[in-house]
Amino acid sequence: MTLAFRHRPVPDSALSRWDSRWKLAAVLLAVGGIAALDHLAPAAVALALGLSLLILARLPGAWVRVRLFLFALAALPFLLVLPFTLEGPGWDIGPVKISERGLIAGFAVFCRGLTIGCFALLLVGTAPLHHTLAAAHKLRLPGLLVQLTLLAYRYAFLLADEMRRLRVAMRTRGFRVRATRHGYRALGHATGALLVRGAERADNVAAAMRCRGFDGKFHTLTAFRTRAADIISFVALVAAAAAFVLWDRLGLS
């Protein structure tokens, strides 16, 4: 069976060996710090750090590039809009005025967005999702939320496959996506069928879970063990994020 999604093996690296609890805590704190940066210089250095960590993680280049491109696309509107909307000295190009402050602010937001993307990829790419979620549970994320996220992740694959089969079934009967009333109706029906199947499956999964004693608590086989390297890595990343924030706030450029 060809799947719409595939689970990717985690490449061995210092970052994949980092205890998921320490890694998650460090990344969350670092992301919090990076999100608070206002100036371009610390944001650009933070981006360099994020990219360096991605290289250290030895993740497949194509996998990283595609996802970083999506983060870049999400951050791009700021880069395109801020130079034309913020006031201050700048350059006049015909009827358009480009603000220097806006351009720098746009680049700063763009760098911040990409850096956060780097850290997100680091979390997703250097440990299986269920390890990261089990770590989140150890860091006091409610078990039911962890369970729900795992179920959503697990069944996204199945729903995607069902959608693919529906599309094939529609195509074999001559359906092509067109902006016509019939096209919209057919897509609506297919989406409805998918939702109904999803709801039915949710009932069946709930029954199967109850039959195996599910009581709302999250349990896992994933075992965690803290080593000195985990703590050192945590301190290093959090210290780096704190340094960026200090640099940003005190303007040490």
Partner 1 sequence: MSHRYADGRVALDDISFAVEANECVAIVGPNGAGKTTLFLRLCGVLAGKPGQATIGGLDPAVPEHRKKLPEVVGVVFQNPDDQLFSPTVAEDVAFGPLNMGATPDEAKARVTEALQAVGMPDAGERVPFQLSGGEKRRAALAGVLAMRPSVLLLDEPSMFLDPRGRRELIAVIRALPGTKLIATHDLDLVLDICPRVLVLDAGKLAADGPAEKLLANVDLMEKHGLEVPFRLRHA
Contact mark string toward partner 1, 149..168, x via CB under 8 A:
-xx-xxx-xx--x-------
Question: Hey, CA dihedral for 134, 138, 140, 142, is it positive or negative?
Answer: positive
The smaller minimum CB distance to partner 1, of residues 6 and 176, is found at 6
Residue count, binding to partner 1 (CB under 8 A): 31
Among 110, 81, 82, 83, CA closest to 99:
83
Contact mark string toward partner 1, 6..45, x via CB under 8 A:
-x--------------------------------------
Cβ count within 10 A of residue 214 = 14
The smaller minimum CB distance to partner 1, of residues 207 and 228, is found at 207
Stretch binding partner 1 (CB under 8 A), from 26-34, 48-56, 198-206, 245-253: 198-206
Instruction: Give the integer Cα–Cα distance in Å for 146 and 149.
Output: 5
Among 175, 161, 59, 171, CA closest to 118:
59
The correct pick among 207, 225, 250, 253 for binding partner 1 (CB under 8 A) is: 207
The correct pick among 211, 225, 250, 253 for binding partner 1 (CB under 8 A) is: 211
Token pair in block for residue 239? 């210290």
3-class SS at 7?
Answer: coil
DSSP assignment of 1-13, as one string?
Answer: ---SS-PPPPPPS
Q: List interacting residues with partner 1 (CB under 8 A).
A: 3, 7, 128-130, 150-151, 153-155, 157-158, 161, 201, 204-205, 207-215, 217, 219-223
